[in-house]
Amino acid sequence: MMFWYDHDVSGWGWFAMSAGMILFWALIITIAVLLFRALNQPQEHPHTHTPATPSPEDILRERLARGEIDEDDYRRRLSTLHAGPLTKP
């Protein structure tokens, strides 16, 4: 029955209310910042990617198509590519 007559909050009560209010607002601000950052990130599409680096065979094919090398040179260079790494004597 004492509660009905004594409505004062003790020092620990004030501390608990203040700490709770600070934590509450810190949580609200953190959620707002994270939500803002998540919504403002550029959208990445799964089908967009950087083009693959052309293989040496592709480069040779392109050079042959542009007329930079002739067919004999193309076949010689292609056979060199397929022969594997050169060994040093």
pLDDT in tens, 17-69: 999 999 999 999 999 999 999 888 877 666 666 678 888 899 999 999 999 99
Q: Is the pTM of this model over 0.75?
A: no
Local confidence band at 73 (pLDDT 50, 70, 90 cut-offs): very high
Q: What is the DSSP string of 9-74?
A: --HHHHHHHHHHHHHHHHHHHHHHHHHHHHHTSPPPPTT--PPPPPPHHHHHHHHHHHTSS-HHHH
Confidence check: pLDDT of 75 > 80: yes
